[in-house]
Amino acid sequence: MNIRPSHEATAEAQARAWAKVLAPYRKPNPVRSTYELAITAIPFVALWALTALAVTHGYWWGLLLTIPAAGFLVRLFIVQHDCGHGTLYQRRSLNDWIGRVLGVFTLTPYDYWRRTHAVHHATAGNLDKRGIGDITTLTVAEYRALPWLGRLRYRLYRHPVVMFGLGPAWLFICQYRLPFGLMRAGVQPWTSTLATNVAIAIPVALLMWLMGPIEFLLVQIPITLMAATAGVWLFYVQHQFEETHWSDAEEWNFQNAALHGSSHYDLPAPLRWMSGNIGIHHVHHLSATVPFYRLPEVLRDHPQLHDIGRITFLESLACVKLVLWDENARRLVSFRQARAIA
């Protein structure tokens, strides 16, 4: 008789238990979903238009409006993200078409991104399945085994200027224009990226003609860069914290990786609202079909989840230096800490 180890049975039992607990929260409210979409999209368009109007009339102070506009663009991405999980509305096709339209605003090809993000959810925390939809993270042993040029590349990649400066700009402006990572995965990733490119190019060309190319770029570039940086930062903190979870395929299980490999980024209320509650990321990974506006209900009703992986904003700043996975200590460490490991 093949008897599974008790820890595997326990993990599966816990997964089933959480699936049952979170089931009542998975049903979207179409009225609430429409409301959340409206109070995100309308302010974003209004702020963009007001900024453009100010700039074209020489009122340069209007560029200050790009800051809240970038915040609403981040929230718009969270709405698109929920469409990708099929959680905004019950009809899959409605989610998909709303997500595709929002992808024009967020510069993110919806179907391509949805596919890579699904891989992320299915493999997060699995050392043997890194590479798609996540931030490249090496173990201490892997880093030490690299030649000096490989170490230099990894150090540059993980440097804050690249990770939160050049990286976000490259990702949303350049990388998402082609289906990198899925180049040989069939027609859909190509259709998604190229169709999104065309859908972006048409309004961009029209707005440049109406406003002038310089004025358009003065409005669009700050909004895009600030929103991209904020989005990458949120994704980074959600998985790159000291007590996160990584394991090889033999030890990995979905529930454990979701609950302990994703943080509860406990932001101040205004930032929590603007980021669409995505900081409650451990619950999101436990059940990706819970709509973003219902995630706070889960914490309210199940307070035992509140302190699991909890990180405050100030605490999150220290996560920048954590760049390597120490398989012995089972935690993320800095380059300096890795050097001290025997």
pTM: 0.92
Q: Are 237 and 263 in contact (CB under 8 A)?
A: yes
CA separation, residue 315 to residues 33, 159, 236, 252, 259 (Å) = 32, 19, 13, 27, 19
Q: Give one word for 271, left, alpha or beta, with left for phi > 0 and alpha for psi -120 to 50.
A: alpha
Confidence of residue 183 (pLDDT cuts 50, 70, 90): confident
Confidence of residue 1 (pLDDT cuts 50, 70, 90): very low
Per-chain mean pLDDT for the chain: 92
**pLDDT tens-digit readout, 225-238:** 999 999 999 999 99
- How far is Cα 229 from Cα 242, in angstroms, rounded to an integer? 21
Phi, psi of 247 (to 5 degrees): -155, 160
Confidence of residue 315 (pLDDT cuts 50, 70, 90): very high
**pLDDT tens-digit readout, 256-301:** 888 889 999 999 999 999 999 999 999 999 999 999 999 999 999 9
Contact residues for 108 (Cβ-Cβ < 8 A; gap 6+): 77, 80, 172, 176, 196
pLDDT value at residue 9 = 53
Of 27-31, 52-56, 125-129, 233-237, the one with minimum mean pLDDT is: 125-129
pLDDT value at residue 252 = 87
Percent above pLDDT 90 for the chain: 80
Q: Identify the residue whose tokens are 């993270």.
A: 137
Confidence of residue 12 (pLDDT cuts 50, 70, 90): low
Q: What is the mean pLDDT of residues 189-195?
A: 94
